[in-house]
A and B are shown apart, each in its own frame.
Chain A
Amino acid sequence: AQTVTQSQPEMSVQEAETVTLSCTYDTSESDYYLFWYKQPPSRQMILVIRQEAYKQQNATENRFSVNFQKAAKSFSLKISDSQLGDAAMYFCAYLVGGAQKLVFGQGTRLTINP
């Protein structure tokens, strides 16, 4: 069974600094997708970034980038120039290609210190 593990229940960072959130996953599939979702206090789940496993290039979205290490089954999220609005729960998620079921990690609560 596919599993997603986020080993950091909580992280904190000073405003304007960089923080990296860790995620590892377990799968025997070769075709899959990985996601980072953000859930702020409003509890609205927001897609932050998406990575196709067949792409070697790491996905980036403005201040958000990933370090995708396929062999190590690692998918970390780097947030640069952290802003107060980045404070949220971050969930790593996995989806097998052609399937529909997202598998979520346990989440990492990120605090931004002003």
Chain B
Amino acid sequence: GAVVSQHPSWVICKSGTSVKIECRSLDFQATTMFWYRQFPKQSLMLMATSNEGSKATYEQGVEKDKFLINHASLTLSTLTVTSAHPEDSSFYICSASLVADTQYFGPGTRLTVL
């Protein structure tokens, strides 16, 4: 139980294009989903918290117009990186809460912007 999927697992795009990453909770309904970014050999950095049916809450320093988050249903949240640039290349991980205090993580998406 508590399985979270992400799609795609890796994506390469050209600078200036937009990329959408999907996060799904497969066997439970998640009222809250989270988006993290992880640089090589570093810890996870929370980008935003997403609650179903409401606007995402972004962490300080995260550009909400660049990283668009939509949480339209209890099982799906999407992160769109708009007008991507090489500095946006990173590993993006989502998680979902089954109970209020425990997060289950997706397998991550590796984004490379050329």
B-contacting residues of A (Cβ < 8 Å)? 33, 35, 37, 42-47, 50, 52, 91, 95, 97-98, 100-102, 104-107
Q: How far is the CB of A94 from chain B (nearest CB, A)?
A: 11
Contact check, A45 vs B95: say whether CB atoms are below 8 A apart: yes
B107 proximity list for chain A (CB < 8 A):
42-44
Residue contact B44 to A101, C-beta cutoff 8 Å: no
Which chain B residues border A97 with CB–CB below 8 Å?
101
A106 near B43 with CB under 8 A, answer yes
Residue B54 is within 8 A (CB to CB) of chain A in the complex:
no
Q: Which of B32, B101, B105, B108 contacts A33 (CB 8 A)?
A: B101
Interface residues on B, range: 20 to 34
> Which residues in window 36-82 of B have CB below 8 A to A?
38, 42-44, 46, 49
In the complex, B28 has a CB within 8 A of chain A: no
Residues on B with beta carbons closer than 8 Å to the beta carbon of A95: 101
Instruction: Check: B15 CB closer than 8 A to any chain A CB.
Output: no
6 contacts between A and B (CB under 8 A): A52-B101, A91-B43, A97-B101, A100-B34, A100-B97, A102-B44
Most chain B C-beta atoms within 10 Å of own C-beta, residue among A37, A43, A95: A43
Interface of A: prevailing SS: loop
A100 x B49 contact (CB < 8 A): yes
User: Could you say which of B44, B102, B108 contacts A50, with CB atoms under 8 Å apart?
Assistant: B102
B49 touches A104 (CB 8 A): no
Closest to B6 in A: A44
- In the complex formed, the residue of A with least CB distance to B91 is A43
A35 to chain B, nearest CB (A): 8
Chain B residues whose C-beta falls within 8 Å of the C-beta of A44 in the assembled complex: 105-108
Cβ B100 vs Cβ A98 within 8 A? yes
Q: Which residues of B sit under 8 angstroms from A98, Cβ to Cβ?
A: 100
Say if the beta carbon of B84 comes within 8 Å of chain A. Answer: no
CA distance A26 to B70 in the complex (A): 33
- Sample of 13 further A-B pairs with CB below 8 A, known A102-B34, A104-B44, A106-B42: A33-B101, A43-B38, A43-B91, A43-B93, A43-B107, A44-B106, A45-B95, A45-B108, A91-B43, A100-B97, A102-B44, A104-B43, A107-B43
